[in-house]
Structure 1
Amino acid sequence: MALTSSVKEHPYSHLIDTLKDGKLKFFNPQKLNDPRYEKLPLSIRVLLEAAIRKCDGFYTKEEDVQNILDWQQQQNTAEVPFPPARVLLQDFTGIPAMVDLAAMRDAVAKHGVDPGLISPMCPTDLIVDHSLQIDFSKWWVSLKNQEMELIRNKERLQFFKWCSKAFKNVNVIPPDVGAVHQVNLEYLSRVVQVNDEFIYPDSVVGTDSHTTMINGLGILGWGVGGIESEAVMLGQPVSLTLPRVVGCKLVGSVNPLTTSIDIVLGITKHLRQAGIAGKFVEFFGPGVSQLSTPDRTTIANMCPEYNATVSFFPVDHVTLKHFKKTNFTQEKLELLESYMKAVKLFRSYEDPSEDPHYSEVIEINLSSIMPHVSGPKRPQDRVAVNSMKEDFRRCLDEKVGFKGFHISKEKQGTQVPFLHCGQEYQLAHGSVVIAAVISCTNNCNPSVMLTAGLLAKKAVEAGLVVKPYIRTSLAPGSGMVTHYLNTSGVLPYLSQLGFEVIGYGCATCVGNTAPLPDAVVDAIKHGDLVACGVLSGNRHFEGRLCDCVRANYLASPPLVVAYAIAGTVDIDFEKEPLAGVTSDGKEVYLRDVWPSREEVLQTEEDTVISSIFRDRTGRMEVRGMSHPNYFAEHCVVFPWDHKSTYIRSPSFFNKLVRLLTFGIIVNAHALLFLGDKVTTDHISPAGSIARVSAAAKYLLSKRLTPREFNSYGARRGNDAVMTRGTFASIKLQNRFIGKPSPKTLHIPSGQTLDVFEAAERYQRDGIPLIILAGKGYGSGNSRDWVAKGPYLLGVRAIIAESFEKLHKTQLVGMGIMPLQFLPGESADSLELCGKERFTITLPDDMSLRQQLTVKTSQGKTFCVTALFESESDLVFYRHGGLLRYVARTML
């Protein structure tokens, strides 16, 4: 409801207060005069304010407000709505969301409804940042990367231009401005929003896993799937179980040699071990004041890795100091501070009397945290830098798994010579072949980037170099990073070591690194070497960076530079020099070139100033969508080009009028028989399109050459490509096949086929499909195609031992049933071979978490739990998913 037109009818109108001599209004929860309010965690206070302000008796009821206020008793029990202030989309997940809305306009228009009614009701920002590919890595040709981006993505950019014209409340930020999370931090974040003469806390949900970074600014926000974001865009609140809030108390002093990345990994380890899946984390204690705002956002960014929903840092004097450096005026800062203090959302971390009540408290001593890296395959596997050499050699010994590669002792000393640019080099186990300082996670933090730059400066001055065959790259999250690296004088030294700025956007972490030199690939294969990549990101599952690079480590930007200089991870920095001897015969150790904390902080103070943020604002306002490539027709319904291989109207809204019943799934086949920890990387298409894949066959049929394939991310607006790319990961462990492969068994024929081809045959024969899986199905970052893809493949249900919570929600949102084996049971304990046919009966009066009976063609019967957690889950499933439900409400 519009607040200005219905204040008198609002059930909480008596809570309205004013600021600025009555010019601004706000709902003041303190006027409830309820002592419970001041004991609430501040993140819960944000939920409460939103529920009070948006209480309309339909989406949000007075009962919801009371449940949030009674958080101490209702946590982990009550289901409550949360209407965020805005939605954030990056282009990989944003384009299918916009395609769905465009298709929804078509669907309602066919039923005589004005298609113009379909527009986001919630302000939506779409940042085009994931389409960049690194074709050129040297500074003098790196701008060609942007030119190639515009050529490759012309259709997508034209579609975005149409969206910015056709839809209300849509702001499109074009390529080469910055990565989504940094644009969010530097330009879009408000801390408080002003609308209809009301002021209220800024909050956001986004389709990028880095959305949680915003919590470092005291802005509540987290990542959701594309389906959930579309619902919010259309006016529906996010539904969540009132979370438990873990208070993370920081004490002690930061070690001078410890970067914020080390602090991130240290906190990640503590919180992952604490078992906080699905909970909010809120930081407090005297140690918080020692962390700069960039430090806090970096820490907040990693909360998906320990499965928390958010990691929240309430606003304090450090936050205000940060915004003084940005484009915030003094008047805006004073308004922010006045409002936050008026509703008790402002904190003094040194005053323990302000500490709220938490569900539980975890204490972390900052002085105990030392430098670490993470790997070689998972973010949670931390390795102390001083133990790296020993740990890597242990990985070579161990059997193949999350840590092991099982290289025999006699082959661990293998060295393979090769020629590169006319000079001979040698590769061995542990040799670094990719070293990337990328936009994810780190580049919003000036201290670590300046540490990397100062390290490069000292290394160059000491005569150190990086071997030319190593794929080095620097992909800043925004021009601000380039600005302060250049202003501080360290950028030329990074470039001299091969870390040239190659563009702005996601790069190495999504598999967009240019191919390694053929000689390097041949040497790796010839010696069966465990080659390494080192990157400053937060995603590094095996094979993600490059198929032939088996060991990948997450590290802070300065350590990325250090390992690039060393050329290997098989090194003890304390005892071994970085790279032999210099030209003047000196051995240089890491300690000789590592900058002091004082030097870094002074450089940061001198270079990260308000002019940088003014430059950012200027670039944002000048760029616009005025480029000739962005031309698009201005019309209410999108003019689909049926020849397009980028933008295609999906089939989600077919048979829109017919309401589904729960019914029965009869004689379903298992499309896949999967094990534990199947991640979204295994399910959803990402990275380059393999030339022998089902998606490649489709594109070849459209007369495209392999050079024109682009990436899965760029083609997310084409369901034909994305469906063919679902479960197309080369690392998919399908028990029907017995080895990592994007293949499956078509059970009726006994043939081994691409997953899509098998699913196509099943659908042609009218056979429903299920998937069998183990523990933790759907873990990893949020992607809409992890649910859309299986839905279009014909999957009706997934039976697993457990699900990642967000993925379970996405499945329900697409009309796929998440079914869980009973405790202690699994496909193995039930002796299922996967080749049976499965019949699942669903009663019309389905209830929450109801047990269902599954019968197999072999005569076996077992029970599963249908993971419908709320009445809305049942409604969405009955409608065939959330998108259809939203479209039907328009009808």
Structure 2
Amino acid sequence: MSNTLREISQDTLNVDGQTYHIFSLVKAAAKLGDIDRLPKSMKVLLENLLRWQDGDSVTEEDIQAIADWLKDAHADREIAYRPARVLMQDFTGVPAVVDLAAMREAVKRLGGDVAKVNPLSPVDLVIDHSVTVDRFGDDNAFEENVQLEMERNHERYVFLRWGQKAFNRFSVVPPGTGICHQVNLEYLGKSVWHEEQNGREVAFPDTLVGTDSHTTMINALGVLGWGVGGIEAEAAMLGQPVSMLIPDVVGFKLTGKLKPGITATDLVLSVTQMLRKHGVVGKFVEFYGDGLKDLPLADRATIANMAPEYGATCGFFPVDGVTLEYMRLTGRSDQQVALVEAYARAQGMWRHPGDEPVFTSSLSLDMGEVESSLAGPKRPQDRVALGDVPAAFRASNELEVNHAQKDRQAVSYRDARSGQQYQLEDGAVVIAAITSCTNTSNPSVLMAAGLLAKKAAALGLQRKPWVKASLAPGSKVVSDYLATAGLTPYLDRLGFNLVGYGCTTCIGNSGPLPEEIENAIRQGDLTVGAVLSGNRNFEGRIHPYVKTNWLASPPLVVAYALSGNMKLNLQTDPLGEDASGRPIYLKDIWPSPEEIAAAVQMVSTEMFHKEYAEVFAGTPEWQQIQVSEAATYSWDNDSTYIRLSPFFDTMAKEPEPVEDIKGARILAMLGDSVTTDHISPAGSIKAESPAGRYLLDRGVERTDFNSYGSRRGNHEVMMRGTFANIRIRNEMVPGVEGGITRHIPSNEQLAIYDAAMRYREEGIPLAIIAGKEYGSGSSRDWAAKGPRLQGVRVVIAESFERIHRSNLIGMGILPLEFPQGVTRKTLKLTGDELIDVADLQQLKPGTTVKVTLTRADGSKDVLDTRCRIDTGNELTYYQNDGILHYVIRNMLRD
């Protein structure tokens, strides 16, 4: 392949006496044409294709298409992108390792070499989703929560320890260390990767995909990465390229500076609202403008983190001096920092003042206009100015789910800890959590929370007794700097004691509320609130009894713990009174920019060196876990956590032809913005649900149910939990909330799982009908795996979220979109219809697929739906009955 673009572009880069081989965009531009004004994120894609050009999966035409993108800032072309590494958290990581172990079993059954089932790219799995806030508000909370975590998750941790030994290039960061995105930002991310290849040290952009949608946080460091489903991530680590269309890139220009008292959280809520309105689903967002010079990297990380909330594939920040400062602070080596600068400058990836790349579209924000805000009551893009929160709460309290009961009576309860009698009112804040990767990576907002707590404590303010407060930092470094700044005692005094290092409240691991609080909420049918410094506030996600959830900065979380009610206006109403009865307002205790800056100065490089020195070692309890050395896993048939998944049980060496879908019944008919939380719920398992019945039948006590997320390695639990969310609304059963459907033609109302199993016995395939943005939210592989095991063959929706669409294909489920202007409502569907999908052996990406709807009276409608299999690779996966089946067959051929 001499004289290919790959050959032409080869060059060297000398940095402090070390020679690196690179694929030079400058050299390639001699043949491609001027690429100087390409967005920096597109230059990362361009380098990736150059480096992997093989004439087959990556051709010269693919590379030229990115250069030609400049002509109209758009391209309709599929490319094969190969990220440098894969990042996982344990909720999504456990089923991925279960699948790897199951793939070894399948390869063994079909006569192949099990050693071929190994990651080809580095994989880091960070255990951060398993800690639950059971204990809170005292000095023992952390130790007790960690102990409970180790007891509950022992089976899972044994399995992950086995995987750590059994698979090459697979590292596990043990529990109690930090959140995967913060560990990635502070330690794993390199901005520029380098490794030995064929005797040469090759340097290239650090890129990754992750099994958590907030993988995008690493884009703050100039690392191109985004969330994919666990299914796609498994394929990427097994050497399959990520198939994608060359993206549109939306430019977001930042100018000015934030006003005093305005936080990065306020900024990101404004950015999220603007980008949601602009429309960036499936697109890259790249931040530019001279305002970036005054935007700390931690603030950039807050914005990049929430790309899933504004709908973009990623929110990218180019490398500049701020990037290098952060890398030095967090303990990256001088050689690494020098390489990042030299490489970014040589490749045209460095941000210069006044840069104006070409973008598909652009919008801008003067940061001086940002105001103090929250987002709620149930969507991250619904920004509410601080003074408007009471009105927003009142509006939410009149929603359909609350049956417009406006004047609920307060309920009297006795506090179990103090024995005192209190009134729990409508609007009560029952959870105040400083949690999640969005903000706990950011010293300025965490120091602000600590300073506000210090001032509040000095004036004698206390959190209200009905508020469950918690502090769950994203890394141990946070505890170090809060302690060094002398702020930990004041947070403790207000109940914000350390509860764990991990994703807690934001993913539904908020733990139970005190029993008397839960009873009072139920007794009064009260609409209460949770305030959290997170990124997700969907219905039913934070806690089953908390109907309204509000995203806020850490200092505002503390403020709402003091005020205790969403109906109070924190801009005008007092938070409480001092010892002399004088009202204390938020402005009285809000720290000044100078105070925050002085506290942030206490964050030191030594803290990062200390906490990351033995990041993979873990606690003595972790180290003492004994595991077998066998290449295949010893499955325990009695386990309720880890089970051999059935996906490959009947697969043959060659795929069967795709069969048309005949006589499918509708399992559920759903509205707009159905999230993966609705489809495959996180959070607690109800005893009366199919999953709860399964666990009870196997002798598991209710107190040991743990969460759905912790049991993702057991397909029996997960398929029963699919469509089981208590807030899901199936339009086939109007007025009913929860995972219920009608079995047709009996018309019997059943749990969706129970109906699916009855249809399976009857040999009937299933379909899901939905509205817009089907599958938005977290990248949950079980939102595709669960429906597959329930018998779903096709999903027909008005539109799909990016990750979920590809996950459906990865599990062999066909995603189809209604024709423009046609919906379940215009068709007046009831759920009683039969569905036929024909000519699937002639399927092509993006083409029209005929769907025949047969109504109960025998009349028919024929729809020209749009096939949302977008690329040739995706079609191949679908024809193989799923992406992992395709990978196994390739291994057997090799």
Relative to structure 1, is the Cα distance of residues 527 and 151 closer, same or farther in structure 2, using a 3 angstrom cutoff?
closer
Q: Give matches, 1:99-498, under 5 Å.
A: 99-137=98-136, 138-196=138-196, 197-348=201-352, 351-352=353-354, 354-396=355-397, 398-400=398-400, 405=402, 407-408=404-405, 411=407, 414-420=409-415, 421-498=418-495
Deviation of 1:519 after TM superposition, in Å, equals 2.4
Is the 1:685–1:727 Cα contact (8 Å) retained in structure 2? yes
Q: Distance in 2 between matches of 1:389 and 1:810?
A: 39
Q: Give matches, 1:636-651, under 5 Å.
A: 636-651=631-646
- Aligned partner letter, 2:105: D
Deviation string, structure 1 residues 164-223 (Cα, Å, up to 9, x no partner): 111111011110111111111111011111111101111111011220000011111100
Deviation string, structure 1 residues 684-733 (Cα, Å, up to 9, x no partner): 13111111111111112222211222111111111111111101101110
Deviation of 1:407 after TM superposition, in Å, equals 4.0
Q: Distance in 2 between matches of 1:574 and 1:762?
A: 56
Q: Distance in 1 between matches of 2:503 and 2:694?
A: 26
- Aligned partner letter, 1:521: E
Is the 2:436–2:505 Cα contact (8 Å) retained in structure 1? no
Task: Confirm whether residue 674 of structure 1 aligns to residue 670 of structure 2.
Answer: yes
Task: Confirm whether residue 19 of structure 1 aligns to residue 23 of structure 2.
Answer: no
Report the more deviating stretch, 326-335 or 357-366.
326-335
Relative to structure 1, is the Cα distance of residues 706 and 193 closer, same or farther in structure 2, using a 3 angstrom cutoff?
same
Q: Distance in 1 between matches of 2:537 and 2:781?
A: 20
Deviation of 1:669 after TM superposition, in Å, equals 1.0
The SS at the match of 1:442 is helix
The corresponding residue for 2:737 is: 740
Deviation of 1:17 after TM superposition, in Å, equals 2.3
Task: Confirm whether residue 620 of structure 1 aligns to residue 615 of structure 2.
Answer: yes
Relative to structure 1, is the Cα distance of residues 528 and 155 closer, same or farther in structure 2, using a 3 angstrom cutoff?
closer
Deviation of 1:278 after TM superposition, in Å, equals 1.2
Task: Confirm whether residue 61 of structure 1 aligns to residue 59 of structure 2.
Answer: yes
Q: Distance in 2 between matches of 1:686 and 1:629?
A: 29
In structure 1, the gaps of 5 or more residues are: 1-5
Is the 2:11–2:21 Cα contact (8 Å) retained in structure 1? yes
Is the 1:666–1:840 Cα contact (8 Å) retained in structure 2? yes
Is the 1:68–1:80 Cα contact (8 Å) retained in structure 2? no
Report the more deviating stretch, 631-640 or 847-856.
847-856
The corresponding residue for 2:24 is: 28
Relative to structure 1, is the Cα distance of residues 161 and 522 closer, same or farther in structure 2, using a 3 angstrom cutoff?
closer
- Aligned partner letter, 1:887: I
The SS at the match of 1:194 is strand
Is the 1:154–1:629 Cα contact (8 Å) retained in structure 2? no
Length-normalised TM-score, structure 1: 0.96
The corresponding residue for 1:94 is: 93
The SS at the match of 1:72 is helix
The corresponding residue for 1:790 is: 787
1:752 counterpart (749, 752, 770): 749
Q: Distance in 1 between matches of 2:378 and 2:131?
A: 24
Is the 1:187–1:616 Cα contact (8 Å) retained in structure 2? no
The SS at the match of 1:620 is coil
Q: Distance in 2 between matches of 1:709 and 1:69?
A: 54
Deviation string, structure 1 residues 579-599 (Cα, Å, up to 9, x no partner): 1x2222221111111001121
Relative to structure 1, is the Cα distance of residues 107 and 802 closer, same or farther in structure 2, using a 3 angstrom cutoff?
same
Relative to structure 1, is the Cα distance of residues 114 and 687 closer, same or farther in structure 2, using a 3 angstrom cutoff?
same
Q: Distance in 1 between matches of 2:111 and 2:614?
A: 43
Q: Distance in 2 between matches of 1:14 and 1:394?
A: 59
Deviation string, structure 1 residues 619-639 (Cα, Å, up to 9, x no partner): 415438983553211111112
| Identity between Structure 1 and Structure 2 (%) | 45
The SS at the match of 1:23 is strand
- Aligned partner letter, 1:418: Y
The corresponding residue for 2:706 is: 710
Q: Distance in 2 between matches of 1:28 and 1:122?
A: 23
Report the more deviating stretch, 456-465 or 683-692.
683-692
The corresponding residue for 1:3 is: none
Deviation of 1:748 after TM superposition, in Å, equals 3.3
Is the 2:265–2:553 Cα contact (8 Å) retained in structure 1? yes
Q: Distance in 1 between matches of 2:171 and 2:96?
A: 14
- Aligned partner letter, 2:244: L
Q: Distance in 2 between matches of 1:97 and 1:675?
A: 30
Is the 1:656–1:888 Cα contact (8 Å) retained in structure 2? no
- Aligned partner letter, 1:758: A
Deviation of 1:852 after TM superposition, in Å, equals 2.5
Is the 1:532–1:569 Cα contact (8 Å) retained in structure 2? yes
Is the 1:226–1:783 Cα contact (8 Å) retained in structure 2? yes
Relative to structure 1, is the Cα distance of residues 98 and 8 closer, same or farther in structure 2, using a 3 angstrom cutoff?
farther
Is the 2:745–2:832 Cα contact (8 Å) retained in structure 1? no
The corresponding residue for 1:77 is: 76
Q: Distance in 2 between matches of 1:336 and 1:828?
A: 54
The SS at the match of 2:439 is coil
Relative to structure 1, is the Cα distance of residues 752 and 315 closer, same or farther in structure 2, using a 3 angstrom cutoff?
same
Length-normalised TM-score, structure 2: 0.95
The SS at the match of 1:168 is coil
- Aligned partner letter, 2:754: E
The SS at the match of 1:549 is coil
Is the 1:120–1:170 Cα contact (8 Å) retained in structure 2? yes
Q: Distance in 2 between matches of 1:685 and 1:622?
A: 32
Deviation of 1:71 after TM superposition, in Å, equals 1.9
Is the 2:466–2:517 Cα contact (8 Å) retained in structure 1? yes
- Aligned partner letter, 1:689: I
Q: Distance in 2 between matches of 1:470 and 1:653?
A: 48
Deviation string, structure 1 residues 517-546 (Cα, Å, up to 9, x no partner): 232223223332211111110111122222
Relative to structure 1, is the Cα distance of residues 135 and 430 closer, same or farther in structure 2, using a 3 angstrom cutoff?
same
Report the more deviating stretch, 268-277 or 255-264.
268-277
Deviation string, structure 1 residues 12-36 (Cα, Å, up to 9, x no partner): 2553223245732111110122552
Q: Give matches, 1:442-841, under 5 Å.
A: 442-579=439-576, 581-605=577-601, 607-623=602-618, 627-657=622-652, 658-738=654-734, 739-841=736-838
Deviation of 1:8 after TM superposition, in Å, equals 10
Q: Distance in 1 between matches of 2:696 and 2:244?
A: 44
- Aligned partner letter, 2:50: I
Q: Distance in 2 between matches of 1:108 and 1:303?
A: 38
Q: Distance in 2 between matches of 1:108 and 1:755?
A: 34
The SS at the match of 2:266 is helix
Number of residue equivalences: 875
